[in-house]
Structure 1
Amino acid sequence: MKKINDWFSSGLIAGTLGGITHLLYNSLLLMLGLQHKTFWHAMAGLFYNQQLLMTVGAQIHGMVDAIGVSAANGILLSLILMLTGKDYLYAKSITMSAAGGYFLFIVVFPQTGLGKDSPFVPWIAIIGFIVFNGLLVGYVLNQISTYKVPNKR
């Protein structure tokens, strides 16, 4: 497999893949009845009121937003790996993703009310961030990127 030299593109690809798998994980838990709202519901809740939240347009908007958050996480992680190297890759990827998840818990979730009526939703969310935005994104970045630092003059 040809590796990508561009840190931004590799981070974007890895983060997007992590976001898509995170949404699939949320969909599975929703179908199993283990949660009643998902990460994309939280993201859609930032832009839509309760009456519009379950419309197809709001759900698609929330999914795109959720994937965008994961892509941004991948880009930030890729930048950190380019600057610091791949040593302790998974520690860096889990830490960055958990920090991003906690930021969302502190800023986004209170505005949407997601998780306040369930003891499981916050745990499901942080596990999703660690596994899909942490481990998976770190793994994909390790597989597809080279992190060649430009020559300094």
Structure 2
Amino acid sequence: MLIKHADDDQFVLNMSALHNFTKLRRVLPQSLTRLKALHEDRPKFHKEMTAQASSIRIKKRKKIAEKRRQTAEAKRKEAELAAAAAAEAEEALRRAEEGEDDSEEDEQEPNEHQNELQAILESDNDVPESEAEDEIEESNVATSRCGRKRRRC
């Protein structure tokens, strides 16, 4: 079995994987069978590698934290826009209920949120009250006090 290191031209021959390991060991010169250290000062090498790994880990953490901050900021802005749209739709609905005539809004394009809200309100009005109460009772029966579904045996 032959292993080649990517960073240098040193080859390692795993003789214990071969059938005639002891015979090979006797035949080959000691310079080929003796182990050679890749790094003379192993503790120093390990400290350098741990410092390098630590710095890489810190850089990755900073990068992830920055990405997390950007995502949170984007979600916050999106929530603010949704809240503003909801407030606008609520105000338009209030005006419509009061019967106010806004000629300015007639000139503008219809608001998507107002259309969605109207569709929801109309769909809620289509369901008879008795059916809605039956659905609520069925959902209450299916769940226990803590809100989890009961097991049926």
Larger Rg over CA atoms = 2
User: Fold-level match, TM-score > 0.5?
Assistant: no
TM bucket by the smaller chain? under 0.3
Higher RCO (CA-CA < 8 Å; seq separation 6+): 1
